């Protein structure tokens, strides 16, 4: 094989490797961009998750406050019914008891201890 043929083959191989190298660099650049996009999306999703968790905590706290108020009203109405034999208060106590039980069920359904 002559020196010119070897040089031509080396030149062809060099061009092929240079082209492959260019394609690989483009693929690396594309993957870096995708990775940065995924990282940004993960950051946004993480921030949204934290916001939703704070919102959930506020809602649960509101439900617990409402539950405590229902319990207080139930006890007050039940006491009035027992001491004064007030049928209206008996109905109110029953209504507060039903509402309180439903609220407890809701809290249990979402995995929160009342």
23-60 pLDDT per residue, tens: 999 999 999 999 999 999 999 999 999 999 999 999 99
> pLDDT band at 88, cuts 50/70/90?
confident
Residue whose token pair is 């083959």: 9
Decide if 102 is inside a domain.
yes
Decide if 83 is inside a domain.
yes
Segment (H or E) for 69: helix 3-84
Buried b (16+ CB within 10 A) or exposed e, 61-70: eebeeebeeb
Decide if 16 is inside a domain.
yes
Q: Which domain holds residue 105?
A: 3-109
User: For all residues of the chain together, what is the average pLDDT?
Assistant: 90
Q: Report which of residues 46 and 77 the model is more confident about.
A: 46
Decide if 114 is inside a domain.
no
User: Count of domains in the chain?
Assistant: 1
Decide if 21 is inside a domain.
yes
Decide if 15 is inside a domain.
yes
């Amino acid at each position: 094989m002559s020196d010119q043929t070897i040089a031509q083959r080396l030149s062809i191989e060099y061009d092929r490797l240079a082209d492959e190298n260019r394609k690989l660099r483009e693929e690396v650049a594309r993957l870096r961009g995708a990775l940065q996009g995924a990282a940004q999306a993960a950051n946004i999703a993480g921030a949204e998750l934290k916001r939703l968790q704070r919102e959930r905590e506020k809602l649960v706290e509101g439900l617990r406050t409402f539950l405590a108020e229902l319990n207080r009203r139930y006890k007050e109405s039940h006491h009035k019914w027992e001491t004064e034999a007030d049928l209206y208060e008996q109905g109110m106590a029953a209504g507060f008891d039903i509402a309180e039980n439903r609220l407890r069920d809701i809290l249990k359904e979402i995995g929160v201890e009342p």
